[in-house]
Amino acid sequence: MSGPAQTTPHASSRSAVLDVIRAAGTISRVGLARATGFTGATISTVVRRLIDDGLVLETGRAESTGGKPRVLLQLNQDSRYAVGVHLDLSGITYVLTNLGGSVVARMSRAGAGEEDPPVVVGRMAREVEALIEGIGVDRSRITGLGLVSPGPLAPAAGMRLTPPAMRSWEDFPLDRALEEATGLPVLLDNDATAAALGEHWSGVVGGTATFAALYMGTGIGAGLLINGLTYRGASGNAGEIGHVCLDVNGPECWCGARGCTEILAGPAAVVAAARADRRLARAAGLTSGKGNKPPRPSVAAEFAAVARAARDGEPAARALLEDSARHLAVAARTLANVMDLELLVLTGPSLAIAGSTYLPVVQEEMDRAFFSRATHPVEVRLSTSAATAPAIGAATMVLQSELVPLRQGLRLPGNLADAEPGGTAVRAAHGG
Amino acid sequence: MSGPAQTTPHASSRSAVLDVIRAAGTISRVGLARATGFTGATISTVVRRLIDDGLVLETGRAESTGGKPRVLLQLNQDSRYAVGVHLDLSGITYVLTNLGGSVVARMSRAGAGEEDPPVVVGRMAREVEALIEGIGVDRSRITGLGLVSPGPLAPAAGMRLTPPAMRSWEDFPLDRALEEATGLPVLLDNDATAAALGEHWSGVVGGTATFAALYMGTGIGAGLLINGLTYRGASGNAGEIGHVCLDVNGPECWCGARGCTEILAGPAAVVAAARADRRLARAAGLTSGKGNKPPRPSVAAEFAAVARAARDGEPAARALLEDSARHLAVAARTLANVMDLELLVLTGPSLAIAGSTYLPVVQEEMDRAFFSRATHPVEVRLSTSAATAPAIGAATMVLQSELVPLRQGLRLPGNLADAEPGGTAVRAAHGG
């Protein structure tokens, strides 16, 4: 069906109103009507229910332009919490956020590494428990758990087509297993999409509602927000710029294609090149790779070591990062050309470390070669929460999803093509 | 502002209702309420106004499941018409469509070539006049004129950064000039975006509301429909896959970047390679390029000649097209990876001629290397109206725009970032 799906008011009025209250801080009912376009009667009904459910508080009155002062509304921040988990080969990041998306607790633990998925899930459940107990939040107030990991993802089947090191995760029912282990409802989504949502809620994005978050962790991807909604594509895997082709004659990538961004410029490529330069490898403190003594540091940890060497003035390290940045910049330009973007945010754990090298290179590429540069510039910003944006986005997805009545067909991949309100992700299907 | 803009009902209810009636053929008020999510009262008001304006007719009754039979509504097809013009270096295509988007008249004329913009605009005005007079439609029923051309476009400034052969069009106020010459309101948009809309209204797309139209005329681009709405990006120039990088070490493109799809695989590249092969150039009937006798055939015409040679069994021509197809397929995969697409339509004048060579190559690339192929396939279809889709889309933009009350801020490029109901394009700003 075309067009009007977006205009359906009842399915999303609750979440729309809540999102406006969140973004505004405090706002009156009249302000809500103006911001959402809903009638006063609709606003009145929705707000009454939000107050009854304890999600929104009345909080004093604002001066009115004539007439009686207007009652101001704000989120009841401590009424709900959500857990966000970012699972990556190199590390697992946990956050607990309140209803406003503010982080009230966070922790980082070892990544999935080479452990078996059920072992990792068991550990994650214990770590989530420790996170919740550490902060002393009543469990009944925890809405659920958002779990984000590298795509492609499929509901009730977990990851599909993983990088080689995570192959044992293919077709493992990650969401369902973690749901059983924690007793919390679990939403599964792509890490880069979650990063975009995390930036939207807590990052450097400000009021810009259409932007891309270019994500670099162990892999490379992007999350897309269009008009404040996450754009997820047909299966929740939109934004896969790690596997767009930058060189038709380039080396073969693990994904089956040739000359992908990730194989040319990803952290693993940088680390491999650094390791091949014996002097640089020693200067950066990389292990020799020979002898194969475990535990071998993660790709992200070794990338961080190269980035530190570059910062310490090691020219070979600097040259490697700049070459990676030039390739990433071309992929970023592809994304900007396809989406006609005005804003691009660099985020993710690897850019948390090396972003200051990448930022000027990406910005220069946009200024020089973005196709519509005669119409408008593309601004590139470095995230201020690059390491935790995916986990924050994961928690946000849960908060939003609890607040939106479960929509028809949400469980069917075929219906995921729509731009969904930020983070309405794949919900673990117990029955299915 | 985030989120709720989509849920504003009043701004687009009229166009949403009309679009559902159009798509359904005939539908009851109850069916409309169900399809749009609007209340019965809203539907009732909107439909009454559409009937008063003569845009919608009541047309018999349908059996109801109990209760009295429901009145069926349908578009009054002949109540409005729109002109669609597709301006390209190689040709100008004109269509006149009725309110349902059906083509009631069409014609093709010589392209912009090397004539001065004001001369071409004068000719276009005469050709539009001939189109309208030929079919004998009352001028008062013509809503306006949609004009589409290669991007990047800017309101009241026309094209920016054109291919070299169209450089004289840069900053020419195309929309305003044509508005003055024809006396019709003019909407200006990107040809590839219009092609996507044309496919949505009249093409092979069926019910799929999220897809990309991969366009090849003189240049290469793509139009994006997300959930039945054209995605235009910040300045109406989304989908520029003609200028994504396929080879970081490739030849420099006129756009300033390196290894773009267009420079590697576009019609001009195919023609140049054919011309360099003296035997093939002769077999395809290409002029020598020496002596410089005007009029030199357009790139599209020469590309068509190479395509015909390929169809006639000329192996060198076939090899050139297949190489172009392989590059275009990689660009198409980039688009599919970024948007996580399920459907891609090949369209545009050059694919109207050579599409049967390109289709299997693009399909094979999707099956082999689309990143989320383990989650779902990407279907590639060849348009059945590839030569006229941009012009049809141009007319459609006008029909839809007439039906949507002019929205706040529509003239400001900064506000074009939203996904707009199909074809709410840059309106010529008389005052500005």
Band (pLDDT 50/70/90 cuts) for residue B386 is very high
Tell whether B330 is within 8 A of chain A (Cβ): yes
Give the range among A7-11, A304-308, A371-375, B410-414 with minimum mean pLDDT: B410-414
Tell whether B297 is within 8 A of chain A (Cβ): no
* Same structural domain, A137 and A97: yes
Tell whether B340 is within 8 A of chain A (Cβ): yes
Mean pLDDT over B283-312 rounds to 83
Give the range among A94-98, A245-249, A351-355, B13-17 with minimum mean pLDDT: B13-17
Contact B152 A13 (CB under 8 A): no
Band (pLDDT 50/70/90 cuts) for residue B126 is very high
Tell whether B14 is within 8 A of chain A (Cβ): no
CATH (domain of A275): 3.30.420.40
Contact B421 A17 (CB under 8 A): no
Mutation pick from A161, A258, A333, A372 vs chain B, by most beta carbons of B within 10 Å, is A372
Which among B210, B233, B375 has CB closest to A341?
Answer: B233
**β pairing state of B56-62 and A211-216:** unpaired
In angstroms, what CA-CA distances link A151 with A189, A212, A238, B167? 8, 17, 9, 43
A417 neighbourhood in chain B, CB within 8 Å = 209-210, 227, 342
Which among A7, A337, A371 has CB closest to B36?
Answer: A7
Each residue of A310-365: pLDDT tens digit? Answer: 999 999 999 999 999 999 999 999 999 999 999 999 999 999 999 999 999 999 99
Contact A23 B1 (CB under 8 A): yes
* Same structural domain, A236 and A143: no
* Same structural domain, B14 and B143: no
Domain count, chain A: 3
* Same structural domain, A155 and A292: no
Band (pLDDT 50/70/90 cuts) for residue A405 is very low
Greater pLDDT, B420 or B358: B358
Mean pLDDT over B304-327 rounds to 96
A234 part of a folded domain: yes
A241 part of a folded domain: yes
Tell whether B24 is within 8 A of chain A (Cβ): no
* Same structural domain, B339 and B255: yes
pLDDT at site B337: 96
Band (pLDDT 50/70/90 cuts) for residue A147 is very high
Greater pLDDT, A424 or A235: A235
Phi, psi dihedral angles at A57 (to 5 degrees): -120, 145
CA-CA distance, A404 to A406, in Å (whole number)? 6
pLDDT at site A125: 97
**β pairing state of B103-110 and B91-98:** antiparallel
Contact A154 B422 (CB under 8 A): no
A327 neighbourhood in chain B, CB within 8 Å = 248
Of A381, A283, A365, A372, nearest in space to A332 by CA: A365
* Same structural domain, B146 and B156: yes
Strand blocks (E) in A205-330: 211-216, 220-226, 229-231
Greater pLDDT, B334 or A11: B334
pLDDT at site A419: 34
Domain that holds residue B13: 4-75
B13 neighbourhood in chain A, CB within 8 Å = 7
Mean pLDDT over B91-96 rounds to 96
Two tokens at A4? 């009007």
Band (pLDDT 50/70/90 cuts) for residue B406 is very low
pLDDT at site A178: 93
Tell whether A16 is within 8 A of chain B (Cβ): yes
Q: Would you say residue A407 has pLDDT above 90?
A: no
pLDDT at site A167: 76
B394 part of a folded domain: no
Which among A1, A232, A376 has CB closest to B207?
Answer: A1
Per the document, the length of chain A is 432
Q: Would you say residue B186 has pLDDT above 70?
A: yes
Greater pLDDT, A281 or A149: A281
Q: Average pLDDT, whole number, for chain A? A: 85
- A227 half-sphere exposure, CB direction, 13 A CA radius: 23
Count the neighbouring beta carbons within 10 Å of the beta carbon of residue A264.
23
* Same structural domain, B158 and B104: yes
Band (pLDDT 50/70/90 cuts) for residue A153 is low
Mean pLDDT over A54-64 rounds to 84
Who contacts A133 (Cβ-Cβ below 8 Å, separation ≥6)? none
Tell whether B210 is within 8 A of chain A (Cβ): yes
Which among A17, A35, A247 has CB closest to B247?
Answer: A247
pLDDT at site B9: 38
Band (pLDDT 50/70/90 cuts) for residue B205 is confident
CA-CA distance, B411 to B428, in Å (whole number)? 8
Mutation pick from B372, B396, B400, B404 vs chain A, by most beta carbons of A within 10 Å, is B372
Contact A374 B20 (CB under 8 A): no
> ipTM strictly over 0.90?
no
**Residue carrying structure tokens 């490379």:** A220
In chain B, residues 180-209 whose CB comes closer than 8 Å to chain A: 200, 207, 209
B351 part of a folded domain: yes
Query: How far is it between the farthest Cα atoms of chain A?
Result: 80
Nearest C-alpha of chain B: how many angstroms from A376?
A: 7
Strand blocks (E) in A160-236: 186-190, 211-216, 220-226, 229-231
* Same structural domain, B191 and B211: no
The residue out of B176, B198, B220 marking a domain boundary is B198
CA-CA distance, A365 to A378, in Å (whole number)? 10
pLDDT at site A5: 33
pLDDT at site A288: 66
The residue out of B165, B198, B231 marking a domain boundary is B198
Q: What is the 3-state secondary structure (H, E, C) of B37-92?
A: CCCHHHHHHHHHHHHHCCCEEEEEEECCCCCCCEEEEEECHHHCEEEEEEECCCEE
* Same structural domain, B89 and B185: yes
Mean pLDDT over B117-126 rounds to 95
Give the range among A57-61, A213-217, A278-282, A410-414 with minimum mean pLDDT: A410-414
**Residue carrying structure tokens 């990876």:** B337
Of A393, B177, A404, nearest in space to A421 by CA: A404
Tell whether B408 is within 8 A of chain A (Cβ): no
* Same structural domain, A254 and A171: no
Mean pLDDT over A193-209 rounds to 85
Chains A, B: CB pairs < 8 Å? 304
Contact B374 A160 (CB under 8 A): yes
Greater pLDDT, B173 or A326: A326
Coil, helix or strand at residue A409: coil
B3 neighbourhood in chain A, CB within 8 Å = 15-16, 19-20, 23, 209, 227-229, 421-422
Each residue of A113-144: pLDDT tens digit? Answer: 888 899 999 999 999 999 999 999 999 899 99
CA-CA distance, B342 to A418, in Å (whole number)? 12
A418 part of a folded domain: no
CATH (domain of B36): 1.10.10.10
Q: Decide if A227 contacts B6 (C-beta within 8 A).
A: yes
* Same structural domain, A133 and A243: no
* Same structural domain, B274 and B330: yes
Tell me which chain B residue has its CA closest to the CA of residue A339: B238
Per the document, the length of chain B is 432
Tell whether A340 is within 8 A of chain B (Cβ): yes
Of A211, A425, A15, A406, nearest in space to B6 by CA: A15
Tell me which chain B residue has its CA closest to the CA of residue A32: B4
B405 part of a folded domain: no
B207 part of a folded domain: yes
B65 part of a folded domain: yes
The residue out of A47, A75, A103 marking a domain boundary is A75
Greater pLDDT, A227 or A271: A271
